[in-house]
Amino acid sequence: MNDRLHCADSGEAADLAAFLGRLVHYDRAAAVRLQAAAGGGALAVFGRPPSFEVLAVRTVRLAAPVGTPLDLTVSAGELLEAVDEGAASVVVPDPVTGPPWAGVLPPRGGWEPVAGLPGPEAMRAAVAGAIAEFRARDEALPPQHRTRSERDLIGREIWSRTLGDTELPLRAVHAAQSLGFLRPVRSSVPAGPTAAPAPVALLASGGWLRLRTPYGSVAMRRPGGTGGLGALLVRPV
């Protein structure tokens, strides 16, 4: 394809590269789905880090509206190599055959706030506590039980716990933390011409939950949910 997209500034390009780098760290063969609406000023990048069972979304502000719609799946590694942070641009690589998750994205709209979400500091503390518990329980296993299956059982029990008074599993918060979405907000992070950065929030739409932060979102189906097809609205997060 080889279309060149110009980011709003070098910071946007750097954040995109950091996001892609984290996806590739978890899966060297990772793919991402790209979407941009005609006339829109943002590029949405969807990825699925393995093990977390969530979709990660990084929205990149563009320097100018896109002339024609963009919707394709590409290699995350090739896209990372095509990011030019100095020029604040990225060349879109040729499309690849998308994995199954790329065809089932969260709904476009209808997102409503969900109460009960702790603050960012409390969320980071919850993840740190869960990691410490996993390590302690793993170390306490007898040598004959220190197997992948036993560790997976411990991990599933810990990361399926819900956060605060919500139904959001801890694994979604862990994913947000691991992808750099829960780091403290830079004072210079823009979310639009006049808007302040969107605060951390939990949203729901149909059978989906979405943890939104100023740096990106993670979305997942609710237990027993029947979230439909579609795409998150392409706009700055």
- Output DSSP code: residue 169: B
What's the token pair of residue 111?
């997102």
Q: What is the pLDDT of residues 144-177, one digit of tens each?
A: 888 999 999 999 999 999 998 999 999 999 999 9
pLDDT (tens digit, 0 to 9) for every residue of the chain, 237 residues total?
A: 668 999 999 999 999 999 999 999 999 999 999 999 999 999 999 999 988 899 999 999 999 999 899 999 999 999 999 999 999 999 999 999 989 999 999 988 899 999 999 999 999 999 999 999 999 999 999 998 889 999 999 999 999 999 989 999 999 999 999 999 998 876 544 444 444 567 899 999 999 999 999 999 999 998 765 443 344 444 343
What stretch of H or E contains 42? strand 42-47
Cα–Cα distance for residue pair 132/89, rounded to 1 Å: 40
Report d(CA 159, CA 136) in Å as an integer: 15
CB 71 within 8 A of CB 197: no
pTM of whole model > 0.75?
A: yes
72 DSSP β-pair partners: 34
Q: Among the residues of the chain, which ranges form H helices?
A: 10-26, 76-81, 120-140, 148-159, 170-178
Is the CA virtual torsion 121, 126, 131, 137 positive or negative?
positive
Report the side by side order of strands in the sheet with 4-6: 4-6, 89-91, 83-84
The DSSP code for 113 is E
Nearest to 32 by CA among 16, 20, 50: 20
